[in-house]
Amino acid sequence: MPDQTSKVIVTGGAGYIGSHTVVELFHAGYEPIIIDNFVNAEKSAVKGIENILGHKVKLYEGDCGNMDFMRNVIRQEKNVSGIIHFAAYKAVGESVAQPLKYYRNNIDTLLSLLELMHEQTISRLVFSSSCTVYGQPDALPVTEQSPKKPAESPYGNTKQICEEIMEDTVKSGMAIKTVALRYFNPIGAHESAEIGELPLGVPNNLVPFVTQTAAGIREKLTVFGNDYNTHDGTCLRDYIHVVDLAKAHVSALHYLERKSEKSSYDVFNIGTGKGSTVLDVIKTFEEVNQVKLNYTIGPRRPGDVEKVYAEVSQANAALRWKAQLSLADALKDSWRWQLKLKKKSKQLP
């Protein structure tokens, strides 16, 4: 066990990205404290984390937007040095159908955390943002200075609004140092296959749909459009291994610890800096796993961005971080995770 010297609260710490970040925090010498209400996560993820670490992790089940609950956690734990905030509703389609639910939850939780951090003199916050703030970019690669476009969903808009709230809070002079990490497309799983992405119901993301199709849970995979302006006509994205993404959060905490200012706000793109198309993902998956996928080409899907990938030099330099794992690594890990999963009812249509 590392010499744990610094406690870090991870809201949504049993979720996909949160669980991997808890593992990397522990390996980096922090003591992670998971806060989760298990609306978007399974308790089995906590067991998976503990299997990887060979050590129990602290878990408080509850809503991070409940200030009394969070205040009690902070007082009980003492000496909490930072918060990594993942907890949010995240289904784009649901956010269109139920916008008030998304605005109430995603924005209120951040407001509550910021107020509590001020009250409890916790000075470091790493926020889970998204490349959705850029929309369809005018130029590639996307830099942190690229203009933010009007959001295409209430979910995306909550990310934009939360970034603005953080920036305004820092401008007010509150003693808080913040980083917003704008992720591109997280994929993969821990190499142990103890934790990974477990979508509730039909997946919204490509790779879980790929693995579930390969496992026979889905009949076929539909590729939405093959007439885009890319090398094979399918949409292009910047796919980043979730373990690399998790390590970026640890690097962001280190960055905030190095900063001498009492109040600051920074944003960083977190991606690989290169794009892969939908067909690139399918073909790579088939090659590295020796599995054939049943897929068809369908019409374009409304709202899909043609291509987007990150310029990551700012994160490389300031955070002292760089993505290390490849698309092939991520797809091998995703398949290993899928094979370990039992066919739970949540994975069925």
> For position 193, what pLDDT does the model report?
95
pLDDT in tens, 203-221: 778 999 999 999 999 999 9
Would you mind telling me the total number of residues written for the chain in this entry?
Answer: 349
> For position 2, what pLDDT does the model report?
39
> For position 202, what pLDDT does the model report?
75
> For position 343, what pLDDT does the model report?
52
Query: What count of Cα atoms within 13 Å lies in the side-chain half-sphere of residue 170?
Result: 20
> For position 29, what pLDDT does the model report?
95
The answer to whether 9 and 117 have CB atoms below 8 angstroms apart is no
Average pLDDT over residues 7-11: 98
Q: Parallel, antiparallel, or unpaired for β 6-11 and 276-277?
A: unpaired
Three-state SS annotation for 295-341 = EEEECCCCCCCCECCECCHHHHHHCCCCCCCCHHHHHHHHHHHHHHC
Alpha-carbon gap, residue 113 to 127, rounded angstroms: 11
Alpha-carbon gap, residue 57 to 50, rounded angstroms: 7
> For position 262, what pLDDT does the model report?
94
Asked if pLDDT for residue 141 goes beyond 50, the answer is yes
Q: Name which of 17, 7, 346 is nearest 203 in CA terms.
A: 346
> For position 30, what pLDDT does the model report?
96
The answer to whether 142 and 269 have CB atoms below 8 angstroms apart is yes
pLDDT in tens, 302-339: 778 899 999 999 999 999 999 999 999 999 999 999 99
pLDDT in tens, 105-120: 999 999 999 999 999 9
DSSP calls for 107-171: IHHHHHHHHHHHHHT--EEEEEEEGGGG-S-SSSSB-TTSPPPPPSSHHHHHHHHHHHHHHHHHH
Active site residues: 155
Asked if pLDDT for residue 186 goes beyond 80, the answer is yes
pLDDT in tens, 214-263: 999 999 999 999 999 999 999 999 999 999 999 999 999 999 999 999 99
Average pLDDT over residues 35-60: 95
Average pLDDT over residues 139-148: 94
Kindly report which listed range (145-149, 275-279, 300-304) carries the lowest average pLDDT score. Answer: 300-304
Joined tokens for residue 344: 């739970």
Alpha-carbon gap, residue 82 to 106, rounded angstroms: 19
> For position 137, what pLDDT does the model report?
86
> For position 342, what pLDDT does the model report?
57
Alpha-carbon gap, residue 42 to 123, rounded angstroms: 30
Asked if pLDDT for residue 11 goes beyond 90, the answer is yes
Element (H, E) at 21: helix 16-27
> For position 313, what pLDDT does the model report?
97
Alpha-carbon gap, residue 49 to 123, rounded angstroms: 27
The answer to whether 325 and 188 have CB atoms below 8 angstroms apart is yes
> What is the pTM for the complete model shown?
0.94
pLDDT in tens, 93-105: 788 899 999 999 9
More confident residue, 201 or 76: 76
Residue 346 — very low, low, confident or very high, per pLDDT cuts 50/70/90? very low
The answer to whether 212 and 338 have CB atoms below 8 angstroms apart is yes
Alpha-carbon gap, residue 274 to 179, rounded angstroms: 23
Average pLDDT over residues 179-191: 97
> For position 345, what pLDDT does the model report?
43
Query: What count of Cα atoms within 13 Å lies in the side-chain half-sphere of residue 29?
Result: 6
Alpha-carbon gap, residue 140 to 50, rounded angstroms: 40
> For position 136, what pLDDT does the model report?
80
Average pLDDT over residues 52-78: 96
Mean pLDDT estimate for the chain: 93
Average pLDDT over residues 54-63: 97
Alpha-carbon gap, residue 208 to 229, rounded angstroms: 25
Identity of the amino acid at 166? M
- Percent helix, strand, coil in the chain (nearest 5)? 40, 20, 40
